């Protein structure tokens, strides 16, 4: 290393010999090494060891042999060309829209070259280990989403899809370090596909570290930075240089999205610092200079969505979600709570309320700017469907041959965005649910922020429950989005379970129970297609049982004469002082405020209800309402409810403990991943 050689030169000592493997050796920095060697010569320092130095040569030979062994193992796992082509075509037909991490025509061209070189026995050269792993990742991702017809075709070709999936998954896990160490864009893409495979197939504890590998490579490749010589303006996809830049941009935002989803759904720590990133968002209206039929300017002027608009919208929403995770649940929140213990006036809670109001406003603005095609229930006329081809490059259009398929794809995308948006609202408003208001007598408006938070969480979860009666939900079972949908349905189910248990006998509780039942039913419909839905179905049934037991217990509680005489209530037992009165949880949750949209869980849901803005929001003046006359205390009802549900959530999904409840001393719980589940935001310690 340069700095090490210089240090030993100044101390008149001999530089230690080269290790077998340099901890800092990376192919992408070779150009920088050449420039550094030239600079060293100009400053009078001896040159670095030549690449032909025995120690360095031995190191490179060792790495080359190891890489060749890994390449050979990966190539031997590749299915034959006919099977691989079937799987790749299925990937671009059903899955590619969710990732868009490479261009279809370029990928297929490289695929043909790869198999041609294999057939000629030319061997695999250079960094091709990354592309071989990527082809395997595409095949792995495609296998669970084959139609019955294509599965039958695989059988005719003598291939068992389950065995092939296990073989590919095993080799990608086994050779992870080998293709990751190539430091290539293909390694990043493989990590994205492999990480998402685990995320959407019930193994988030593997998804997060695998995506973390891809993140580190992406950062080493500077995918999160805009190159100094990068041309600004609308990208032209007919320019090879621009296409390469666009590929890097899409890879970055895909891994950004996956990392944030892991944190949002499972509570994993954030790994990306936004202030360190300046890469632009994907442009939904790119140019095609060689295609005269391309009318991106007209589509943009008319505000029409393209098939690239989904990735842009999801990236924008992910940025807001990540901001909420950092500001409400990260180190900033911990510092705020520490200060709050020394400051009973609630001044720190003023910051919390204003932060939630700001994030809520950003979410609403995001939704208001969605194209009509990406709003669940947004009507798309037949004349409009022609414009929807705009987001599909010429080479992709064969994958979307019919208007019906394009409409179905927009329906699935709008459903995915709807669920992600509503869960983001729950995430944003959740922190206020752990507090009760302590207001100086005469200031009844002070409880409004807490009432709004309860209403917002309940409404968001009920909105998610209502999508079960839409046509878009009926179409999602056979798509790649099925597990994504199931994850968000489960999160809403946990929210309704907690909110229902706080006031088991209220009108809102009845609506929440009906919503919870609908969510369990939706999981039942999806569980045959997704292991995530199957796991969620079992846990939600446990939570529903707990909810009903709490309701029964409350039904059998009666006030005695002594309780009435002393004015005691089971809902409010907090102490009062001279000028402080404590608002009961019942009042803070069911006080005056906007009513929820009517919900008919037995019939169909009006599209107008799904698109309406009648949901309760944090009042615009909530920050001003949180003055010095507003104090907070921990709500014991909420704390007890969360502890009860934490016990019910201690579920052993893999059967390690016999499928029962996990005790805190069990090895499963002692794992670093035992504390990360989809109920993490309701954990009292969070």
Order the strands of the 435-440 sheet from edge to edge.
580-582, 435-440, 630-634
Q: How many CA atoms lie within 13 A of 275 on its CB side?
A: 1
* Phi and psi angles of residue 633, each rounded to the nearest 5 degrees, phi first: -140, 160
- Indicate if the pLDDT at residue 1 is higher than 80: no
Q: Is residue 551 part of a domain?
A: yes
Residues 261 and 321 in one domain: no
Residues 444 and 482 in one domain: yes
Residue 537 near residue 520, CB atoms below 8 Å: yes
Q: What percent of the chain has pLDDT over 70?
A: 63
Residues 198 and 243 in one domain: yes
Residues 496 and 429 in one domain: yes
Return the closest-CA partner of residue 351 out of 465, 449, 204. Answer: 449
Interatomic CA distance for residues 219 and 134, integer angstroms: 19
pLDDT digits (tens, 9 = 90+) for 37-67: 444 444 444 444 444 445 545 555 555 666 6
Residues 439 and 411 in one domain: yes
- Segment 348-363 mean pLDDT: 91
Return the closest-CA partner of residue 514 out of 544, 484, 478. Answer: 544
Q: How confident is the model at residue 443 (pLDDT cuts 50, 70, 90)?
A: very low
Burial of residue 628 (number of CB atoms within 10 Å: 0-12, 13-18, 19+): exposed
Q: How confident is the model at residue 297 (pLDDT cuts 50, 70, 90)?
A: confident
* Element spanning 101, H or E: none
Q: Is residue 13 part of a domain?
A: no
pLDDT digits (tens, 9 = 90+) for 643-672: 666 666 655 444 433 444 433 333 333 333
Interatomic CA distance for residues 420 and 317, integer angstroms: 8
Q: Is residue 37 part of a domain?
A: no
Q: Is residue 204 part of a domain?
A: yes
Q: Mean pLDDT score of the chain, rounded to an integer?
A: 75
DSSP 630: E
pLDDT digits (tens, 9 = 90+) for 479-522: 999 999 999 999 999 999 988 887 888 888 899 999 999 999 99
- Segment 515-536 mean pLDDT: 94
pLDDT digits (tens, 9 = 90+) for 234-290: 888 888 888 999 999 999 999 999 999 999 999 899 999 999 999 999 999 888 877
DSSP 674: T
Interatomic CA distance for residues 336 and 5, integer angstroms: 47
Residues 270 and 419 in one domain: no
For the record, the structure tokens of 19 come out as 């290790």
Helix (H, G, I), strand (E, B) or coil at 436: strand
Interatomic CA distance for residues 627 and 617, integer angstroms: 19
The pLDDT of residue 482 is: 95
- Indicate if the pLDDT at residue 68 is higher than 60: yes
**Of 241, 258, 290, which one is at a domain's C-terminal end?**
290
Provide the residue range defining the domain that includes 73. 68-290
Q: Is residue 8 part of a domain?
A: no
Between these two residues, 121 and 78, which has the higher pLDDT value?
78
The pLDDT of residue 96 is: 95
Residue carrying structure tokens 């992406």? 218
Residues 473 and 510 in one domain: yes
For the record, the structure tokens of 277 come out as 């990133």
Residues 265 and 353 in one domain: no
Residues 364 and 277 in one domain: no
Interatomic CA distance for residues 315 and 320, integer angstroms: 9
Interatomic CA distance for residues 186 and 102, integer angstroms: 9
Give the global pTM: 0.78
Residue 483 near residue 530, CB atoms below 8 Å: yes
State how many domains the chain has.
2
Q: Is residue 523 part of a domain?
A: yes
Residue carrying structure tokens 């007598």? 441
Q: Is residue 142 part of a domain?
A: yes
pLDDT digits (tens, 9 = 90+) for 95-109: 999 999 999 999 999
Interatomic CA distance for residues 665 and 682, integer angstroms: 21
Burial of residue 259 (number of CB atoms within 10 Å: 0-12, 13-18, 19+): buried
Residue 221 near residue 244, CB atoms below 8 Å: no
* Element spanning 423, H or E: helix 403-429
Residues 285 and 320 in one domain: no
- Indicate if the pLDDT at residue 397 is higher than 70: no
Q: Is residue 19 part of a domain?
A: no
The pLDDT of residue 340 is: 52
Residues 340 and 277 in one domain: no
Residues 360 and 240 in one domain: no
The pLDDT of residue 295 is: 78
**Of 231, 260, 290, which one is at a domain's C-terminal end?**
290
């Amino acid at each position: 290393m340069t700095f090490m050689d210089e240090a030993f030169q100044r101390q008149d000592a001999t530089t230690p010999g080269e290790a077998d493997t340099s901890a800092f050796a990376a192919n992408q920095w070779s150009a920088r090494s050449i420039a550094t060697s030239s600079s060293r010569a100009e400053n009078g320092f001896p040159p670095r060891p030549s690449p032909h130095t025995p120690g360095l040569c031995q190191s490179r030979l060792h790495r080359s042999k190891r890489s060749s062994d890994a390449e050979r193992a990966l190539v031997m796992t590749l299915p034959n060309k006919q099977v691989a082509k079937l799987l790749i075509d299925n990937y671009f037909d059903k899955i590619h829209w969710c990732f868009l991490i490479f261009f279809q025509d370029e990928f297929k061209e490289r695929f043909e070259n790869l198999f041609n070189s294999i057939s000629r026995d030319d061997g695999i050269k250079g960094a091709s280990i990354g592309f071989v792993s990527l082809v395997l990742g595409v095949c792995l991702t495609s296998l669970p989403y084959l139609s019955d017809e294509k599965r039958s075709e695989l059988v005719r070709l003598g291939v068992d899809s389950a065995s092939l999936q296990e073989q590919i998954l095993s080799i990608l896990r086994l050779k992870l370090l080998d293709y990751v160490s190539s430091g290539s864009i293909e390694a990043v893409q493989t990590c994205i596909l492999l990480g998402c495979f685990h995320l959407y197939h019930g193994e988030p504890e593997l998804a997060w570290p695998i995506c973390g590998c891809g993140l580190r490579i992406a950062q080493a490749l500077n995918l999160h930075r805009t190159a100094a010589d990068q041309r600004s303006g609308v990208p032209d996809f007919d320019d090879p240089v621009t296409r390469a830049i666009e590929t890097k941009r899409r890879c970055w935002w895909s891994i950004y999205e996956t990392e944030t989803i892991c944190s949002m759904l499972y509570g994993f720590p954030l790994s990306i610092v936004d202030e360190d990133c300046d890469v632009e968002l994907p442009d939904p209206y790119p140019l095609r200079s060689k295609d005269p039929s391309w009318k991106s300017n007209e589509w943009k002027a008319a505000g029409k969505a393209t098939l690239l608009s989904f990735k842009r919208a999801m990236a924008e929403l992910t940025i807001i979600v990540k901001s909420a995770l950092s500001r409400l649940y990260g180190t900033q929140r911990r510092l705020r709570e520490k200060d709050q213990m020394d400051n009973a006036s609630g001044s720190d809670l003023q910051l919390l309320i204003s932060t939630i109001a700001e994030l809520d406003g950003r979410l609403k603005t995001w939704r208001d700017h969605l194209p009509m095609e990406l709003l669940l229930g947004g009507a798309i006329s037949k004349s409009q469907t022609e414009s929807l081809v705009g987001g599909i490059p010429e080479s992709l259009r064969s994958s979307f041959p019919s208007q019906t398929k394009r409409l179905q794809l927009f329906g699935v995308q709008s459903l995915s965005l709807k669920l992600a948006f509503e869960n983001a609202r729950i995430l944003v408003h959740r922190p206020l649910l752990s507090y009760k208001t302590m207001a100086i007598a005469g200031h009844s408006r002070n409880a409004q922020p807490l009432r709004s938070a309860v209403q917002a969480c309940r409404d968001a979860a009920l909105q998610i429950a209502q999508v079960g009666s839409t046509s878009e939900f009926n179409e999602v079972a056979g798509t790649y989005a099925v597990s994504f949908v199931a994850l968000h349905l489960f999160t809403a189910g946990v929210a309704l379970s907690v909110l229902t248990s706080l006031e088991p006998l209220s009108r809102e509780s009845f609506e929440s129970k009906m919503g919870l039942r609908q969510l369990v039913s939706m999981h039942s419909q999806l569980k045959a297609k997704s292991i995530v839905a199957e796991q969620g179905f079992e846990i939600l049934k446990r939570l529903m049982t707990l909810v009903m037991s709490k309701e029964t217990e409350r039904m059998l509680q009666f006030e005695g004469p002594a309780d009435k005489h002393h004015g005691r209530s089971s809902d409010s037992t907090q102490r009062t002082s001279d000028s402080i009165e404590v608002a009961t949880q019942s009042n803070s949750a069911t006080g005056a405020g906007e009513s929820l949209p009517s919900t008919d869980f037995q019939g169909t849901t009006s599209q107008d209800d799904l698109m309406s803005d009648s949901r309760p929001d944090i009042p615009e003046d909530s920050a001003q309402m949180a003055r010095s006359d507003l104090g907070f205390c921990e709500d014991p009802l909420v704390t007890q409810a969360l502890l009860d549900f934490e016990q019910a959530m201690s579920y052993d999904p893999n059967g390690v403990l016999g499928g029962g409840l996990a005790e805190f001393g069990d090895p499963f719980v002692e794992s670093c991943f035992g504390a990360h589940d989809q109920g993490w935001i309701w954990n009292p310690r969070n």
